[in-house]
Structures are given as structure tokens and as C-alpha cells.
Amino acid sequence: MSVEIAVALIVMLVLLFMKVPVFLSVIAGSAVYFFMNPAVGSMILAQRLVSAVQSSSLLAIPFFVCSGVFMNYSGVTRRIMALCDILTGRLWGGLAQVNVLLSTLMGGLSGSSLADAAMEARMLVPEMEKKGMSKEFSSVVTAASAMITPLIPPGIAMILCGSLANVSIGKLFVSGIGVGILLCVGEMVTVSVISKKRGYAPTRDHRLTWKEAAPVVKDSILPMCLPVIIIGGVRLGIFTATEAGAVAVVYSIVLGLIYRELDWATIKNGLKETILSTGGIMLIIGAASALSWILTKERIPQMLTEAMLEVSANKYVFLLLVNLFLLIVGMFIEGNAAMIILVPLLFPIAMNYGINEIQFLMMFIFNMAIGSMSPPMGTLMFVVCGETKCKLKDFIIESIPFYIVLIVELLALTFIPFLTTGLVDLIY
């Protein structure tokens, strides 16, 4: 590794730890490299910043962000939450189970774990506390359930990974269904065990009649059709993943008009939120593209590949080392930024080991999801605790059972490829 790349990486990491915005930290590190390497044209930096965001596949990001925003404005969240209560109301934990299932179902509609966490922290945590659940437990369940969102299509993380690794985004969407359901079940079981031990009772003790449940089910049918339309349309070749985003936007607007909860004022606010959210993501993508070019030029991926093969030729040893590395990285660096920087580095190595591309990328996303609620810099942890006023120390202690479940499921994804590829093989 040259002195220039070492200094560039140090500058970037120092700025990240100083909580300088991710895109500025990465651009600063890249700029240092070009400054110390005058022979390399500085215009390459500008070219990479611009060209990286011109990929047509990345258009899916603003489309899905926009559809998620409009879904929230359209009263969809309230209707899905009522459906979740019908499905889980008789389970131990009551509203805690609703919390987990709501994130799972909303993941296919919003695509943003932070938005999901903030919404549920405001809507459900106060109600959970009224039912006798502790603030720490309610906060942890909210953060843990929001982790499911990036794993359920159309998660932004899957679009980014698919674009970076040149892997079918449609196949990642399908794989995400299985992985998301696995995580949902694991968290619901954890909630049930803890709730039964602490006496967190169900929200009701009787089975609803069809007459009682029918109005709620009827109201939720149209929103729940969106993931089916997206997956079905992409699989049948009716539209691409990018075009699916545009379909999602139109569908969300139609729902808003049907429910009469979307007007010009909310559309304007929704578009503003979309621009702000997308702008932040695109800046990170552009900055990371410049860094990726530098790493490729310096042959860092090849050097890492050779080093890993010298350590062990066993792919499972490699996966365990990658898991450990990503868990640590996820504690300090925002998930999307880590993906954009590390996928171009680690993906070629994984391919040399003969690891299934879908399995590796879903494991990568799962690791980043765990990192998002892990101290010291987990974004989900800070968002939820900021909304609920839960102390970080109490949050971390209460999270231990959920961390154990997450690690067990990560190991399952590592050693049982079928969990990530089975559904893909069945549909494709």
C-alpha cells in the first residue's frame, strides 16, 4: 500500500470519527490522494463524482424513497398497523409484536429503516408504555424491528449492492423476502419469551370474528399489493427494478387519492422530503465512487484477495472473518457508506472463493443492519433513543437478547446458503 492511499484513508477515518458528514469525509480523503499524486489528473475526481450518479439503475432510489414518503402521508401506516394488531394481538407482548410485524410489512412500502424507526417510536412506544412495558424494552423492540426494513424489498440497500456488484436487483429483492421473514420470526419469538417472563400481556384474549376483522383486512389489501406488484412485475419482465420504482410512486399517489388523504400540499412536502433524502444518498455514492477508483488503481482488492487466500482457502473461514470485520465497521460507519466503500473490495474476493453472489450480498446487508443499532454510533439506536428519551446505557443492556438472536441468524445465513438463495432458485 502506497503512502498516498494510507494518508487518504487515515484522513477519511479521522473525519468520520469527528462526525463530519460521510460524503465530505470521503471526498476529503480522495482529494488528499490526488493532491499527493499530481501525476494523476485531478479532473478524475470530478469525473467520478459526477459519473457515479448517472447510472440508470440508481433512479430506483429516488422513486422508492418518494413512494415510501407518499405511503406515509396516505394513511397507509395506520391501516397496516390495524392489520398487524389483528394478526398478533393474542400473542404475548401484544403491541411489541405489532411493532415487529408492522416494520416487516412497512419495509415493502417505505424502504427506509430510519423513517420506520422514527415513526414507530412516535406512534407505538407511548402506547407500549401505557400497557406496562418499560421504555428500554419498547425502544429496543422498535430499533430491532426497524432493522428488518432494509431486508424487505424494495430496500435501498439492495438497490445499492446490486448496482455496485452488477448483480440482479430483482433476485436480491426475492432473497430479501426470505431473510426478512426469518428475522421477523426470530424477533417475534424473542419478544414473546421476554414478554411472557415479564408479564407483558396480549392486547386481547379472544379471537376476532370475521365480521370484526373484515373492515381492517379490506382497508389493508391495496397497500399490501405493492410488494406483490413490484416483485411480480420484475420477475415477469414487465418492468425493470428502476421502472418498478416509478410504478410504486404512481401506485402510492393513487392510494392517497383513494383514501382522500393526499392533497397538493402533502405532495409538495413529500417531493421536498424525497429530494433531501435522495440528495444525501447520491452525494455519498458519488464520493465513494471516487474512493473506489483510487482503491482499484492501487490494486487494493487484489492485495486483499491474495492476503485472504494465504490465511485460508476455506470459504467459511473467509465469511466468518468478513462477518467479524463488518460487525465492527457497522458500529462506526453508516451502512450505505460502508456498502459503497467495501462492496467493490470484498465482492471480488468472495467470488474467488466461489461464494454465491446473492448469499454474500444479503449477508453484507444483514451485517450493516446489525451495525445500525450497535454502539457507539448506531444510527437506529440514536434515532429511537432521541425520540423516546431512553438512556443509551439502558438501551444497550436491554438489547443483549436481541443481539444474541441476530448473531445466531447471521451464522445461519453464513452456513446455510439455502436461507438466502432458496426462494431465488424457486422463483427464478
Per-residue pLDDT of 15-62, as tens digits, reads 877 777 777 888 888 888 888 877 776 677 777 777 767 766 677 778
For the chain, the straight-line distance linking the first and the last C-alpha, in angstroms and rounded, comes to: 42
Taking the C-alpha atoms of 387, 104, 336 and 372 in order, what is their torsion angle to the nearest 10 degrees? Answer: 50
Quick check: 404 pLDDT over 90?
yes
Q: What is the DSSP letter of 166?
A: T
Q: Among all chains, which residue has been given the C-alpha cell 412495558?
A: 133
- For the stretch 297-349, pLDDT in tens is 777 767 777 777 777 778 898 899 899 888 888 877 777 777 877 888 888 88
Residue with cell 398478533: 88
Residue with cell 430499533: 143
Q: What is the pLDDT of residues 140-157, one digit of tens each?
A: 998 898 888 888 887 778
pTM of the model: 0.78
CA distance 223 to 77: 9
Reported as a pLDDT band with limits 50, 70 and 90, residue 175 is very high
Q: What letters, b where the CB count within 10 A reaches 16 and e where it falls short, cover 17-53?
A: eeeebbbebbbbbbebbbeebeebeeeebeebbeebb
Q: Specify whether the CB–CB gap between 130 and 201 falls below 8 A.
A: no
- Mean pLDDT score across all residues of the chain: 81
Q: How confident is the model at residue 357 (pLDDT cuts 50, 70, 90)?
A: very high
Question: How far apart are alpha carbons 232 and 47 in whole angstroms?
Answer: 37
Dist. CA 33–CA 227, nearest whole Å: 43
- In order, the DSSP letters of 76-90 are HHHHHHHHHHHHHTT
If we measure between CA atoms, which residue out of 366, 347, 346 comes closest to residue 408?
Answer: 366
By CB neighbour count within 10 A (0-12 exposed, 13-18 middle, 19+ buried), where does 267 fall? middle
pLDDT higher than threshold 90 for residue 169 = no
Handedness of CA 360, 365, 371, 377 (dihedral sign): positive
Per-residue pLDDT tens for 240-296?
777 887 888 888 888 888 888 777 888 888 888 888 777 777 777 777 777 777 777
C-alpha angle with apex 29: 375 to 294, nearest 5 degrees?
110
Model pLDDT, residue 211: 75
Nearest-angstrom CA–CA distance, 60 and 66: 10
> Do residues 96 and 102 make contact, with C-beta atoms less than 8 angstroms apart?
no
Q: Are 148 and 183 in contact (CB under 8 A)?
A: yes
Q: With left for phi above 0 and alpha for psi between -120 and 50, is residue 271 left, alpha or beta?
A: alpha
Please tell me what DSSP assigns to residue 259.
T
